[in-house]
Homo-oligomer: A and B are copies of this chain.
């Protein structure tokens, strides 16, 4: 993956995932704050979102692993070459390992949403571990590289481990919108920083960056802060737009909703009772 595309693809994924998280959690937060007392059952819409997210994670991880393994110059599922006594394409194996853990995180998300016996928070532990493994492998990945290369990758670790820590906190502090948006923010930051790494190490045009110049290090450090500021801005804008849209739609829908509620109230309360008795 030592080219621009190899950094742009994961970057795009993380960017999209960050936006998706921001939208999902703002919708959930809207539901929590505007919740009508009579209906405490989570609407099936959120469950479907979780299934979709989990399924996509599993699918993308599977594709990622396959591509890393069976690309033309990949290891083709060979780990050790006995003849030459050498490990085969360890870089591809490391990337496969990272994908594997994001796949596990997807499975955990689906399981948590599907089965009531899976304790709440399992999905977040799995996501936190996936980020931890990503950072852990990157950490030993970047040793012995040129100065700028090592520095720009170690800045990525700030976003990765920051995301891992904030996700782990979410296991204990649930339904905290600030932590949830912080997580989205860390994913967007990670995504945009992947692009930045691509631009710096494999410039599409213009001169190659001097890997040892101290001024380049200083600029890159500062640039990471700008990416953080932009990530904060993007999360804020996305959240505001989603909140405003949902508020407007639900206002319009209210008259109809009230009409429906009168008819449906009995059915609803019966359903709620049934679900409660299931949980017991």
Q: Which residue of B lies closest to A224 (CB)?
A: B136
Q: Kindly list chain B residues whose C-beta atoms are within 8 Å of the C-beta of A217.
A: 140
**A156 cross-chain contacts in B, Cβ below 8 A:** none
- A129 interfacial by beta-carbon distance below 8 Å: yes
> Which of A13-21, A96-104, A262-270 makes up part of the contact surface?
A96-104
Q: Given the interface contacts A140-B221, A243-B117, does A129 sit within 8 Å of B228 by beta carbon? A: yes
Question: 8 Å CB contacts to B: which residues of A98-122?
Answer: 100-101, 104, 117, 119, 121-122
Q: Does A43 contact B (CB under 8 A)?
A: no
Do B140 and A97 touch across chains, with their CB atoms under 8 A apart? no
Q: Quick check: B222 and A94 within 8 Å, CB to CB?
A: yes
Q: Name the distance in Å between A231's Cβ and chain B's nearest Cβ.
A: 11
- State the interface size on chain A (CB cutoff 8 A): 48
**A137 contacts the other chain (Cβ, under 8 Å)?**
yes
> Closest CB-CB distance, A152 to chain B, in whole Å?
12
Mark the stretch among A59-67, A69-77, A169-177 that contacts chain B: A169-177
- By CB atoms of chain B within 10 A, which of A178, A207, A226 has the most? A178
Say whether B87 contacts A229, CB under 8 Å. Answer: no
Are A93 and B140 touching (Cβ within 8 A)? no
Contact of A225 among B136, B173, B207, B214 (CB under 8 A): B136
In the complex, chain A residues 227-272 whose Cβ is within 8 Å of any chain B Cβ: 228-229, 232, 243
Known contacts: A85-B207, A207-B85. The answer to whether A93 contacts B222 by CB under 8 A is: yes
Can you report 14 A-B residue pairs in the complex whose CB atoms are below 8 A from each other? A29-B119, A87-B216, A90-B215, A90-B219, A97-B226, A100-B229, A117-B243, A119-B177, A119-B178, A122-B178, A129-B228, A137-B222, A140-B221, A172-B173
Nearest 3 CB-CB pairs, A to B? A140-B221, A119-B177, A87-B215
A interface residue numbers (CB < 8 A to B): 29, 33, 85-87, 90, 93-94, 97, 100-101, 104, 117, 119, 121-122, 125-126, 129, 133, 136-137, 140-141, 144, 158, 171-173, 176-178, 182, 207, 214-219, 221-222, 225-226, 228-229, 232, 243
Q: A93-B222, A125-B182, A136-B158 given. 16 additional CB < 8 A pairs?
A: A33-B117, A85-B207, A87-B215, A87-B219, A97-B225, A97-B226, A100-B229, A104-B229, A117-B243, A122-B178, A126-B232, A133-B225, A136-B225, A137-B225, A172-B173, A172-B176
